Structures are given as C-alpha cells and as structure tokens.
Amino acid sequence: MKNHVSVGVDGSDESRAAARWAAREAALRQVPLRLVHAVDWPLDPVFPGLGRQDVDRWADQALTEAAQELHGRHPQLEITTRCLTARPAAALAAEAAGAGLLVLGSRGLGGLGGFIVGSVALSTAVATDTPVVLVRVADDPDGPGTGFAAEVVVGVDIHEACDRVLEFAFEEAARRDCPLRAVHGWKMPAAYGYVPFFDPDNERDIGRSVTHMVEDTLLPWRHKFPGVNVSHDVFMGSAGGHLVRASQGAGLVVVGRRVRRRSPLGPHLGAAAHAVLHHAAAPVAVIAHG
C-alpha cells in the first residue's frame, strides 16, 4: 500500500475539504485512500471532563463518518481508517513515510495568525520527504471553486535540484489533463547595486540567460510528458509573490522546500514556499528538493 493517499481527519471543515480532495486524488491515481486521525494523549487540561474512552469514541466516529461520506461519493474507491496516539505533526509525518501523498486541511492564510493556526501542517511538511498537499475549505472539489481541471502552477528553482518538484507537477498535469505553468523569479547579482553606471542591456542579457536555463530545465520533462501543454513565466522579482498571483484560478500550486530547519517563529520551508502556503488561492503541494 506504499502508493496510497493518506489524509488527516479531525472533524473540522478544513479536514473534511481535505478528505474530499484526497478522495478525488486517490481516484485519479487509482490507489487506496487512508483516513488518519491523531490523538495527542493526555489531552490539554482545558478538556478536564474528557476521558480516554470518550476521545477514542469521538475519533472512531469522525473517521467512520468521513469514510461513509467518501464511500458515497466514490463507491469504487478502497478506503481504510487509522487512529494514532501521538502528537499530530509527528504522527502525520510517520504516516506519510508509508504513503505516496499526504493531504492535510489548512487554515494557514493571512499573516502571523494563519502561521500559528497552521503550525501542525507546516511542521508535518518540514518533517517528511513525502509530498504534502495543504487544502483549505475553499478548495473543496465539490464546492464552487476552480476544481481539478484548472492549470497546475509550479515554482522552478534553477539553483536547486528540482527533478522531484517537476516530476510531481508534470504527473499531476497529465493526470488532470490540464495545462502546466512554470514560474521562476530571479534577482540581479548584489554587486550590481554598487555599479554607478549600470547598463540596462545587462539586465536584459541576464533575463534572456535565465529564461534559457528555465527552458533547458523543463525540456526533458516536456519530452517525457508530450501531452502536457507547458508555458513558463520568467521575471525579475519575488517568486513567492508571483506564485501567489498565479494561484488565482489554478487547480494546484506546486512548490519545493529547500531545507529542514526552524526559524524562531516556527518551521521554515523557504521564502517562496512560505509565501505560497499562507496566501495561495489554491491547494498547495510541498515537495522536498532531491
């Protein structure tokens, strides 16, 4: 069951949207779906009246109700459930190790408040090499949103080994039979800030050179996936901001994360991935560079 799709379920609106998205994805991949609930025991003291049996009963109910709903929507889909006892981020990262994809609900939008609320999802994405997709309520595939047929947008970093990122993005576009848009932002070398008489032709030359590098990076994947309609946006500026704007109307945004490290405020995935996770208007797939 290595290639199954796992999804975190906790009874929230976000997790229900994530479960529906994960079920659609599992059906597209023709693989089983596993619903996972993590119980951090003992519970926080703010729930003094709840015993272990109450918590287990509630977890079983949440998993059962989610499974029943998804069976109704996807009667041919194989669905299993699993309840884990551990801190949610650690439990979900461990679950991801045996899955082909992990899907999580996210409220991680809107500045520092969103960052704190989405800390479990962010911590999980940092702790696993398995692709992780974060889904908001607005991304519910059965809701009024854009849906699976919209284009896939991928951030391309020519300074990192991005084969895993591009492979995931091209596979998703091929699966959905939708266009793929590759986005890359670049900056002038720092030394140019100290040149008193800067020649604008240098900027154009660098831009052309970067564009060729992006095209060369995409070329083998175009050959591997000839049925995918690919376009690319190469520009000078913030990749994160451009990806957020490109997410409007997209079906999925794919970003790579650079390193596993933590900042004083929490998990850190890289500037572009951080901006996209908090502000994108579409589901976001986080892929470890490799």
Least confident of 49-58, 69-78, 161-170, 276-285: 49-58
Residue 135 counted as domain residue: no
DSSP, collapsed to helix, strand or coil, labels residue 190 as helix
Residue 141 counted as domain residue: no
Contact, 83 vs 37, CB < 8 A? yes
Q: Once rounded to an integer, what is the mean pLDDT over residues 214-224?
A: 96
In this structure, the answer to whether residues 75 and 195 fall within a common structural domain is no
Provide the percentage of residues in the chain whose pLDDT is more than 90. Answer: 46
In this structure, the answer to whether residues 277 and 154 fall within a common structural domain is yes
Residue 129 counted as domain residue: no
- pLDDT for the residue 275: 83
- Reported as a single tens digit per residue, the pLDDT across 177-213 is 999 999 998 876 655 555 555 566 677 888 889 899 9
In this structure, the answer to whether residues 175 and 60 fall within a common structural domain is no
Contact, 268 vs 275, CB < 8 A? no
Residue 45 counted as domain residue: yes
Residue 8 counted as domain residue: yes
Q: CB within 8 A of 204, min separation 6: which ones?
A: none
In this structure, the answer to whether residues 173 and 284 fall within a common structural domain is yes
Contact, 127 vs 262, CB < 8 A? no
Cα 32 to Cα 26: distance, rounded to the nearest angstrom: 6
For residue 224, pLDDT beyond 70: yes
Contact, 221 vs 167, CB < 8 A? yes
Q: Once rounded to an integer, what is the mean pLDDT over residues 251-264?
A: 74
Query: 107 versus 98: which is more confidently predicted?
Result: 98
Cα 240 to Cα 7: distance, rounded to the nearest angstrom: 26
Contact, 252 vs 152, CB < 8 A? yes
pTM of the model: 0.86
* Residue 45, H or E segment: none
In this structure, the answer to whether residues 69 and 162 fall within a common structural domain is no
Least confident of 64-68, 80-84, 156-160, 199-203: 199-203
In this structure, the answer to whether residues 165 and 275 fall within a common structural domain is yes
Torsion over CA: 262, 263, 265, 269 (sign): negative
Residue 289 counted as domain residue: yes
Q: What is the domain-level CATH number for residue 211?
A: 3.40.50.620
In this structure, the answer to whether residues 158 and 222 fall within a common structural domain is yes
**Which range marks the domain in which residue 226 is found?**
146-290
- pLDDT for the residue 198: 57
Q: Mean pLDDT of all residues in the chain?
A: 83
In this structure, the answer to whether residues 153 and 271 fall within a common structural domain is yes
In this structure, the answer to whether residues 150 and 105 fall within a common structural domain is no
Provide the number of structural domains found in the chain. 2
In this structure, the answer to whether residues 11 and 96 fall within a common structural domain is yes
pLDDT band at 171 (very low <50, low <70, confident <90, very high): very high
Q: Once rounded to an integer, what is the mean pLDDT over residues 207-220?
A: 93
In this structure, the answer to whether residues 37 and 79 fall within a common structural domain is yes
Cα 67 to Cα 70: distance, rounded to the nearest angstrom: 5
Residue 121 counted as domain residue: no
3-state class percentages of the chain: helix first, strand second, coil last, to nearest 5:
45, 20, 35
In this structure, the answer to whether residues 186 and 106 fall within a common structural domain is no
